[in-house]
A and B are shown apart, each in its own frame.
Chain A
Amino acid sequence: MQLVDAELQESRQVLPGQWLQQYHAPALAVSARAGQFVHVRTGDCSGLVLRRPFTINTADPATGAISLHFREVGRGTAWLTRLRPGERIDMLGPLGQGFQVDSRSRHLLLVAGGLGIADLRLLVDEALRDGRQVVLLYGCRDASEVYPSSLLPDEVEYLVATDDGSVGHRGFVTDLVLDYEAWADQAFACGPLPMLRTLAGLVAGRKGRLGVATLGRKRGGGRPVPLGSPAARKKAFLQVAMEQNMGCAVGACLGCVIWGVNGPQRVCREGPVFAFDEIDWEATAGAGTHKR
């Protein structure tokens, strides 16, 4: 974790209201892992007192560039969209625990709902770099919000579900999961809470008979590992990236908790990526974020 002065290199609207910005921040580009985030200080305007957390969408150690993908939802994000290339902003990062990919996993199933794609985008790059196969399932409201396939590497198998059926499958993205759950060694998801809850319920219903936990093991599985440990997450079939309103983002203020089966969990420190069985999905029902 460090404070970094990041220079905006490129900023463009990739979807209605959604922006993709590339910053020059070598220190972050080198150390960032998929699922981690940066805490961005917005301009000193209109009494904004908090930073904004953004997942690191992509990171390229070779060029020192990272990108952020966000929706303009409030004054902080609106301020970001008005930045011009060459301007510098203050970022704190990389923060949080990223996705844990088991070394034996060959087939990764990624499930994104809307802007949740931003959390999974770097995982796509990392997985392909490591020679893994990636299927990306993407769900959104209608054709206007479909993530452009031009922003994805060619090697990814990319399937879309829309609520109105204007592109791809008509219905929820979680419907598509059934076709791939047997193929996948591990699954990673980010999106609206109902989507994550549905996925968690689906996986819980399979009672751990899926994926990497069963690979190369005799019946009965390995030694038990404590819930929430990196080892347990690595073994988990489903990992989810959660979001919550955030204060400090370094674990000091305890503002960004969600409810886990072992009590409150800080999204900024224990998360934002959790194994699906760490989260108390009933208690998390009310979680949500304010417009930022």
Chain B
Amino acid sequence: MRAKKRVVTYGKAVPPSRGATSGPAPKTRRTPTVRTIRSAIVEPRPAPPPGPASPAARPVGPPVAGPARSTVDLSVDLGRGLVLRNPILVASGTFGYGVEYADVVDIQRIGAICCKGTTLRPRQGNRPPRVTETPGGMLNSIGLQNPGVDAVLERYASQWAGWKVPVIVNVAGESIEDYVGVVRKLDLVPGIAGVELNISCPNVGKGGLQFAIDQEAAAAVTRAVRRATELPLIVKLSPNVADIRPIAAAIAAAGADALSAVNTLSGMALRADRTGPFLGNTYGGLSGPAIKPVALRIVYEVAQVVGIPVIAIGGVTGLDDVLDYLAAGAVAVQVGTAIFADPTLPVRLVDQLAAECGRRGLASYGPLIGTALPTRPNAASAKGVEYRP
């Protein structure tokens, strides 16, 4: 029998999929079920060969090198045609522009790279010192140092266009016009796969209040950016709020294709002699394993109130963390701080996730998503603040 020649392309083209949601973002539902979230996973492609699906009866082929990554479909659709080959991303600010780690990491195997936060104009960032280690984590206060969107595009966009790994540009600004200005410049540039909005920035127009902690401001900036571009739009949530759910729902309703959660927690450290704050900026953002329980709680909450994909961020250091976040309703995870100690971790996680699926006899990792979410609607965790003191 002759097999039909099949060309599989990655990138922005939406692969053929049967029931997968693509195109316009699904309408926000109050309490989407696990099934809804699962639909964010692209169906296996090419379709598995007919026959019994038991592991013993899997087609016998030439042995593949390395883990069984070719037999498990890890691809994930984050909406608006942003289809990643696997759900392991690297978090903004921890991987530069993708080129820095290229010597020691096979970056093309990562699901996607979120680049350093990019603003309309160059920014010098905060005064040093900017980073310090804390128990189970680190504090940083870089202050969005970056050369500005024009320089970023000039230096990196042509390289990115030649990469297999999609690059999602993290965008920051101090006003809605800032965000829109950056995104307009990114729109239609080859090599830009999507946009991630960092809304944990002070909103100068609103007295320095962060966009991320204000439901209306967050929705307004999302809406404005949505109008400015057809690029897939991810909005990164801040954990520094009393209740994330109304904010997440408002952002989803405003047209975001996906949410990433969470940005760093606000914190500080003191100088060794306790004469003042250690960081040049006084406050910094806490990241690393220390924040995982907080991020897990937020992912769990957000996944229950929005119908768009949720990307988990916060203290991923191993496969267990990935599986936790998937179970809590995330469809993908970003690895951040752990890269500093272990640059090859993201690529290893891809292999480990594929192996885990293989071990469980799964053709895709979809069944791992949302298993820890409440099965009945209106579960206590979905409506209340009962766990808060």
Residues of A within 8 A of B (CB): 1-3, 41, 46-51, 92, 244-259, 263-264, 283-284, 286-292
Contacts and interface: CB of A to CB of B under 8 A. Distances in A.
Interface string B118-131: 00000011011111
A247 B340 contact: yes
Contact of B341 (A51, A259, A287): A51
A148 to B, nearest CB: 28
Interface in B76-135: 93-97, 100-101, 103-104, 116, 124-125, 127-133, 135
B374 to A, nearest CB: 31
A291 B134 CA distance: 11
Contacts of A1: 103-104
B344 A3 contact: yes
B137 A47 contact: yes
SS class, residues of chain A in contact with chain B: loop
SS class, residues of chain B in contact with chain A: loop
Contacts of A92: 104, 343
B286 to A, nearest CB: 11
Contact of A289 (B95, B129, B135, B289): B129
Given A1-B103, A1-B104, A92-B104, A290 B269 contact: yes
B228 interface: no
Contact of A290 (B95, B100, B133, B338): B133
B160 interface: no
Interface of B: 93-97, 100-101, 103-104, 116, 124-125, 127-133, 135-138, 140, 142, 145, 269, 271-272, 278, 280, 288-290, 337-344
A46 B280 CA distance: 26
A46 B137 CA distance: 11
A143 B344 CA distance: 45
A49 B138 contact: yes
Contact of A259 (B103, B127, B133, B138): B127
A253 B142 contact: yes
B128 A287 contact: yes
A49 B100 contact: no
A84 B116 CA distance: 39
B290 A47 contact: yes
14 contacts: A2-B104, A3-B104, A46-B135, A50-B341, A92-B343, A245-B132, A247-B138, A248-B96, A248-B101, A257-B130, A283-B127, A287-B128, A288-B129, A291-B272
Contacts of B272: 290-291
A34 to B, nearest CB: 21
Nearest to B93: A253
Contacts of B136: 47, 49
Contacts of B339: 248
Contact of A248 (B94, B132, B280, B288): B94
Contacts of A247: 131, 138, 140, 340
Contacts of A291: 272
Contact of B125 (A248, A250, A264, A287): A264
B267 to A, nearest CB: 14
Contacts of A46: 135
B194 to A, nearest CB: 20
A49 B129 CA distance: 18
Given A250-B101, A254-B145, A259 B94 contact: no
Given A49-B136, A251-B96, 4 more contacts: A254-B130, A283-B127, A290-B132, A290-B269
A257 B128 contact: yes
Nearest to B125: A264
Nearest to A290: B132
Interface centre among A41, A92, A247 (most CB of B within 10 A): A247
Given A252-B95, A258-B128, A2 B341 contact: no
Contacts of B95: 252
B54 to A, nearest CB: 38
A203 B103 CA distance: 38
Nearest to B122: A263
A255 to B, nearest CB: 3
A285 to B, nearest CB: 10
Contacts of A246: 131
B131 to A, nearest CB: 3
Contacts of B97: 252
